[in-house]
Amino acid sequence: MEPDPVVAEVRAIREQLAARLGFRIHDIVIEAQRQDAVGDRKVVRLQPRRPIAVGVVTQEPEQSDAADSR
């Protein structure tokens, strides 16, 4: 599989940022938050979606009267 140049570029930038900050995760997070705060990109927050139950029985099946008549 051929490497994706965009992924390679993002990873290189990430590595440079981490190296510049001494690979300290706390400092990396602070820097990312700082860049987000001064950036001009609009943050879109959508309402959370309700999960859809798949394969879940919502009602107990009715018992037949045949078992009771023995």
CA 3/CA 7 separation, integer angstroms: 8
State the pLDDT at residue 5.
Answer: 95
Q: Where are the domains of the chain?
A: 5-38
Residues 54 and 35: their CA atoms lie apart, in Å, by 41
pLDDT bracket for residue 66 (50, 70, 90): low
Residue 30 contacts residue 38 (beta carbons within 8 Å): no
pLDDT of residue 9: 97
pLDDT of 70 above 60: no
CB 17 within 8 A of CB 28: yes
CB 21 within 8 A of CB 32: no
pLDDT digits (tens, 9 = 90+) for 14-61: 999 999 999 999 999 999 999 989 989 888 889 998 888 887 666 766
For residues 42 and 49, the answer to whether their CB atoms sit within 8 Å is no
